[in-house]
Amino acid sequence: MINVKINPYLYLPGNSEKAMNYYKNILGGEIVTLQRYRDVPDIPGSEDNQDKILHGHLKIGDQSIYFSDWLENNSITFGNQVSLTMEFTEVDAIEKVFHALSEGGKVLMPLQDTFWGAKYGKLTDQFGVNWDLNCQL
């Protein structure tokens, strides 16, 4: 077995910085890196794109989520092929985070007790990111 960490990398349509701050505030993380397109020489793109995020790193505990804004010559198709899963140990924490992430988003499965002995809910947040939240009871 390889000892490796797998981190999600989210490509968003120009609102990565807003999303990073949103998740940081909800989950108590810290923004480690916020590199803009203007910070790197010879990166193609219009003047309008210079303040967009080339690479962002949000650290939450010992985990990371990476972000980047797609430029106008690329397209993003949101789908249900990726979901970020959070495992909680406290019911109060899952309820707080589920409520915060669902604001402006869409609840796909309300937070509820499940047959596998957990409190679980599924949603798509205001940025089109799918989340599964689970707290084993």
Extents of the domains making up the chain: 9-69, 83-136
Q: What is the pLDDT of residues 4-39, one digit of tens each?
A: 778 999 989 889 999 999 999 999 999 999 999 888
Q: Looking at residue 74, what is its pLDDT?
A: 66
CA-nearest of 36, 63, 31, 72 to 52 is: 36
CA atoms of 135 and 137, how far apart (whole Å): 6
Q: Look up the CATH architecture of domain 9-69.
A: 2-Layer Sandwich (3.30)
CATH homologous superfamily of 83-136 equals 2,3-Dihydroxybiphenyl 1,2-Dioxygenase, domain 1 (3.10.180.10)
pLDDT of residue 113: 96
Query: What pLDDT is recorded for position 127?
Result: 94
CA dihedral 22, 23, 26, 30 (to 10 degrees): -110
Please list the ranges in the chain whose pLDDT falls under 50: none
What pLDDT shows up at residue 94? Answer: 95
- pTM metric for this prediction: 0.82
